[in-house]
Amino acid sequence: MRFSSSDRQINVNRLEALTDGVFSIAITLLVLTIRIPEPGEIISQSELIKYILSLDYELFSYCISFFVVGSLWISGNKRMKFLRKTDDLHLWLSLLNLLFITLIPLTTSLLSDYGDFEFVELLFHGNILMLEIIALIEWEYLIRNTDLVQEEVLSKLDIRNIRKKNFFSVFVPILGMVISIFTSAWSNLVYLLLFFRSLIIRY
């Protein structure tokens, strides 16, 4: 059965809509990892201020996870930008990516509650590592299967620089896992490196 170009475009649009929907839900759920006291637990303004100040690690974990999800969404948008059509393998790679995206609120919640546990830190970093590996594989698959991409957009891409950034992104959670072995708390600081990725990676 042959598909017209419009059918292919519909498939890409549906994938993009699903991806944006999952990302928006995941980002929204992240804020629920921060526990709000039940009515009656806090009886004065000073206690409320003290409680909010005690959420430093939880708020930091939320911000880091929000930033990582945002970074992954931007990367995914760049891939979608030059996608002309999709196929079964690319769809499954995209769904696998969304699977690990939906796990980020869970691993972030565990990080907020049990951040001192090495296993929880490793679980969080492992989740991000899987997402970066999938992104790397998806980029390579699209670059090698040029029939799936818009040639005029592909011709303008610096493939060498993209690969450098992808491998750097894979390295960051691995570094986080190594650091968490020696100090379980605050190892997610390594994700700030993603913010400076364009400055660190040179042509």
Query: How high is the pLDDT of residue 28?
Result: 92
Query: How high is the pLDDT of residue 38?
Result: 76
Higher-confidence position of 186 and 76: 76
Helix or strand run (H / E) with residue 19: helix 5-30
pLDDT band at 158 (very low <50, low <70, confident <90, very high): confident
Query: How high is the pLDDT of residue 10?
Result: 53
Per the structure, the count of domains in the chain is 1
Among 100, 18, 97, 68, smallest CA distance to 173 is for 68
The whole domain housing 58 covers 5-200
Distance (Å, whole) CA 161 – CA 114: 37
User: What is the average pLDDT across 137-155?
Assistant: 83
Mean pLDDT, the chain, integer = 84
pLDDT band at 172 (very low <50, low <70, confident <90, very high): very high
Cα–Cα distances in angstroms (integers) from residue 165 to residues 16, 36, 119, 197, in the given order? 23, 38, 27, 7
Query: What letter does residue 36 receive in the DSSP assignment?
Result: P
Query: How high is the pLDDT of residue 25?
Result: 94
User: What is the average pLDDT across 103-122?
Assistant: 88
